[in-house]
Amino acid sequence: MRIPSVSADGFDRARVVESAEATADLLERSGLEHVRLVRPPGGHPNVIGEWCHAGSAPTVLLYAHHDVQPPGSVGRWHSDPFEPCVRDGRLYGRGSADDKAGAVAHAAAISAWLDTAGTIPCNVRVLIEGEEEIGSPNLAAFLGAHLDELAADVLVLADAGNWAVGTAGLTYSLRGLLGFDVSLRALDGPLHSGMAGGVVPDPALGLARLLDSMVDEDGDVAIDGFADDARPVTAAESARIAALDPAPAALATMLGLRAGVHMTGDPGIPILERLWMRPTLTVIGIDTHPVAGSSNQIVADARARVSMRLAPGQDPRRCWERVQDHVRTHAPWGLEVELTLGESVPGWVCEPEGPAFDAAQRALTAGFGTEPVLMGVGGTIPFVGPFADAFGGIPALLLGPADPASRIHGEDESLHLDDWTSLIASEVHLLEELA
Amino acid sequence: MRIPSVSADGFDRARVVESAEATADLLERSGLEHVRLVRPPGGHPNVIGEWCHAGSAPTVLLYAHHDVQPPGSVGRWHSDPFEPCVRDGRLYGRGSADDKAGAVAHAAAISAWLDTAGTIPCNVRVLIEGEEEIGSPNLAAFLGAHLDELAADVLVLADAGNWAVGTAGLTYSLRGLLGFDVSLRALDGPLHSGMAGGVVPDPALGLARLLDSMVDEDGDVAIDGFADDARPVTAAESARIAALDPAPAALATMLGLRAGVHMTGDPGIPILERLWMRPTLTVIGIDTHPVAGSSNQIVADARARVSMRLAPGQDPRRCWERVQDHVRTHAPWGLEVELTLGESVPGWVCEPEGPAFDAAQRALTAGFGTEPVLMGVGGTIPFVGPFADAFGGIPALLLGPADPASRIHGEDESLHLDDWTSLIASEVHLLEELA
């Protein structure tokens, strides 16, 4: 954690290499063989290694990543983001929960077996990626080029998290992502709002009108036909969600909603179904004149960046067509439209059933002393789908060291240390349960 | 024009004093007496002077201002904003049309009389203000303190403009202004849009929804009861507007609307009535995360600065109550609202009738060789109402050197030189017509 392995542009790339070297050293000390750095062309180095002396036992591929997010506003951290600091049983610092603890958990589980039993019940391969936080731009090509060295029967991805402190999570669904920019233009340059207001359309107001047309009064996506291809929620999922669904007031407090602020989304749909299984729309950026220094002018143009989450099953290409149709028919007052597609990632979902999931549930129960929660995640992990596909649809077990208080990507990122120990114990069990 | 007398904060105040001194020198050379600088406490200096040897003839107060707007983007000017430059019969530079030409026109008309006839048919007082471009913050107090020295029977305000090149304007109505900031908040800090999207309301989207609720599909103000106190358009005004109303296509070209962009406002209402006599709403600034560097986060809050124009007759205090009611009932999802009142100026309108208006029409017809247009203006000149009121509701004749191509406040501000000559000739006639 003292190595600021920020993979984003504008940060020192040498520190990501230094982090890869420290990761390789960790894996070697755990007893893995053939440990090496492999740098995709133009990318940051991945670290791979293996221990394949379990004969005909299954092969497990353990994934984590050693790169981290930028620290954000350093002044808003309560301790140096790159100097680990323990407070109240949590380890604070950038990368603590996302995802250096995941890489260390893999190494610890391996060395636990090799240091005590001198062997591991199954064959193990490890990939610690160096550019997950920039969207894994080279991962699909890397997997294609190293398929033989990484081939496995089951994937264990330690980049997700626990349901709550003390209770493990096993994630079986992720939402997808559809990002786009939309800009509206009336003029080549601004016009005096007194001289032209009432006749010349205001692009900033038009943008407000267009964005508003994309949601209904509950705040749900109202783009015609948008959610038609969302995978229907199964009876088993409904039952799981019904058992887990939080009380609205408790969730509002946990999320930090100000007093009086309502939750959005159809109140007839359970909260966790809204968060995990329904599309949503967020305006993450707007470019127009800022409030400070504004004069009484109609701006020439205004732009918004929109980030939509897609339900599992939705095809981002189809969703993008629906967005384009909507904008074409709803842009007010004939304003000139420019639409640009940004990130586009499908969601991911699997049936959390079968021998690998059963093994994971037993292992996590043993490690945490309580049964894990089969859960969805409202966020997006772009590499999960391609990763599972690259190996022919083998089971993917998504777990990890974060918990709801970990503030991953935020200031004061932290790791719950007791849960980390439980996760490592679970992985030790898992390598036996999967054998 | 070589003196950058920018009255706005952050510019050299000494240059406004220098401009006042140059103005005083100009007025003295024209033959005015008792010329002096009078600086309001904490403000920029005004220049006053008089010539009161016409016995029982009426007294005319001539107003203009010597301060100017900031130059804006200097790189977008085609010549130095503070180096006068003539191209194609127009004088380019900051302050050319707004309003140094107005001050010079007054001085020129006075010296024309005194240099040739050795007298003026009426008594003349002159006030050249030094802080009009920052909203005349000290003008009402200044007028109150100098009422005796400035007392007059008619006001001539040379800070407006002509209907078109070659045709003078005589402005009898102005719209008012109601500015406010509205911000919506859900959270203390941003939240991950994947983890919270679908449940936590997005303040940027909520702001879009709220702003949209303030207008109808024509773009007209849709705040309940907002326009109820607008002064009804008189039959005489309707007739004047019907005779002047431009063809939509011609106006669109003149304003620089991009191809395909519609005009806003009820198409059943004449264009000039929409521009002069109806309220309107413009979003002049938005503060939320900009597009560049945005991450997939729900912002904690979002703010807009709204500038409304008020129809003549509307009471800004009543309008502000309507806005507050609307925001209270339309802010979506229980978002926390903060509303702050900004500029608040009533509109102004008079009946363009009576001896002073008749005199002005004759004078402008003589000066321009064609009848002036009795016109409204969609913009706001805050000092006009208080100015007319300070002198007990005496007639106010609003004319000036600008024309629709003058780009006042913008880059490449310019003055049509032939029309300027016509304006000066008109003022020479006016001092006789008013006697």
pLDDT digits (tens, 9 = 90+) for B338-389: 999 999 999 999 999 999 999 999 999 999 999 999 999 999 988 888 888 8
Task: Determine whether the interchain pair A217/B332 forms a contact, defined as Cβ–Cβ distance below 8 Å.
Answer: yes
Residues A286 and A296 in one domain: yes
Instruction: With beta carbons under 8 A apart, name residues in chain B contacting A275.
Output: 195-199
How far apart, in whole angstroms, are the C-alpha atoms of residue A2 and residue A96?
10
Inside any domain, residue B5: no
Give the burial string for A186-225 (b: 16+ CB within 10 Å, else e). bbeebbbbbbbbbbbbbbbbbbbbbbbbbbeebbbbbbee
Residues A307 and A356 in one domain: no
The DSSP element (H or E) to which A59 belongs, if any, is: strand A59-65
Inside any domain, residue A261: no
Q: Which of B327, B345, B363 is the last residue of a domain?
A: B345
* A126 band by pLDDT with thresholds 50, 70 and 90: very high
Task: Determine whether the interchain pair B291/A287 forms a contact, defined as Cβ–Cβ distance below 8 Å.
Answer: yes
How far apart, in whole angstroms, are the C-alpha atoms of residue B198 and residue A218?
9
Residues B77 and B125 in one domain: yes
Residues A166 and A300 in one domain: no
β-partners of residue B186 are none
- 3-state secondary structure (DSSP) of residue A331: coil
A216: CATH: 3.30.70.360
Residues B282 and B384 in one domain: no
Inside any domain, residue A5: no
A409: CATH: 3.40.630.10
Residue range B168-188, pLDDT digits in tens: 999 999 999 999 999 999 998
Rounded to two decimals, the pTM is 0.91
Residues B115 and B199 in one domain: no
| Average of per-residue pLDDT across B183-206 | 93
Residue range B251-296, pLDDT digits in tens: 999 888 999 999 999 999 999 999 999 999 999 999 999 998 888 8
pLDDT of residue A73: 81
Nearest-CA distance B394 → chain A (Å): 26
> With a cut of 0.85, is the ipTM above it?
yes
A303 touches chain B (CB under 8 A): yes
pLDDT of residue B393: 85
B243 touches chain A (CB under 8 A): no
| Average of per-residue pLDDT across A98-105 | 98
Inside any domain, residue A107: yes
B286, B291, B333: residue with CB nearest A291: B286
The domain of A151 spans: 13-174+348-433
How far apart, in whole angstroms, are the C-alpha atoms of residue A68 and residue B303?
32
Structure tokens at A34: 């053939």
Backbone angles phi, psi at A170, to 5 degrees: -130, 110
pLDDT of residue A100: 98
- 3-state secondary structure (DSSP) of residue A174: strand
pLDDT of residue A116: 98
Residues B339 and B412 in one domain: no
Nearest-CA distance A117 → chain B (Å): 41
Residues B163 and B286 in one domain: no
B residues 198-227 lying closer than 8 A (beta carbon) to A: 198-202, 204-205, 207-209, 211-213, 215, 217, 219-220
* A385 band by pLDDT with thresholds 50, 70 and 90: confident
Q: Which of A310, A345, A380 is the last residue of a domain?
A: A345
pLDDT of residue A407: 87
Q: Which amino acid is at A63?
A: Y
Inside any domain, residue A273: no
Mean pLDDT of chain B: 95
Establish, for the pair of chains A and B, how many residue pairs have beta carbons separated by less than 8 Å. Answer: 289
Mutate to test the interface with B, among A73, A199, A295 (most CBs of B within 10 A): A199
Residue range B25-77, pLDDT digits in tens: 999 999 999 999 999 999 999 999 999 999 999 999 999 999 999 998 888 89
Backbone angles phi, psi at A273, to 5 degrees: -70, -40
Do B105 and B428 contact (CB within 8 A), yes or no? Answer: no
* B111 band by pLDDT with thresholds 50, 70 and 90: very high
How far apart, in whole angstroms, are the C-alpha atoms of residue A57 and residue A61?
13
Instruction: With beta carbons under 8 A apart, name residues in chain B contacting A274.
Output: 198-199
Backbone angle region of B61, left / alpha / beta, with phi > 0 → left and psi within -120 to 50 → alpha: beta
How far apart, in whole angstroms, are the C-alpha atoms of residue B138 and residue B147?
14
Residues A366 and A425 in one domain: yes
Inside any domain, residue A209: yes
Cα dihedral across residues A404, A408, A414, A417: positive or negative: positive
Q: What is the DSSP string of B162-206?
A: -SBTTB-EEEEEE-EEEEEEEEEES-SS-EEHHHHTTTS--HHHH
Residue range A159-188, pLDDT digits in tens: 999 999 999 999 999 999 999 999 999 998
Inside any domain, residue B270: no
Residues B284 and B135 in one domain: no
Residues A116 and A192 in one domain: no
Do B204 and A283 contact (CB within 8 A), yes or no? Answer: yes
Dihedral of the alpha carbons of B29, B31, B32, B37, in degrees to the nearest 10: 10
Total number of domains constituting chain B = 2
Strands B123-129 and B46-51, how do they pair?
antiparallel
Q: Which of B321, B345, B369 is the last residue of a domain?
A: B345
Q: Where are the alpha helices (DSSP H) in B189-282?
A: 193-196, 203-213, 235-244, 248-255, 271-277
Q: Which of B379, B204, B222, B218 is nearest to B304 (CA)?
A: B204
Peptide bond into A99 cis (omega under 30): yes
B39 touches chain A (CB under 8 A): no
Residues A159 and A201 in one domain: no
How far apart, in whole angstroms, are the C-alpha atoms of residue B374 and residue B362?
13
Inside any domain, residue B47: yes
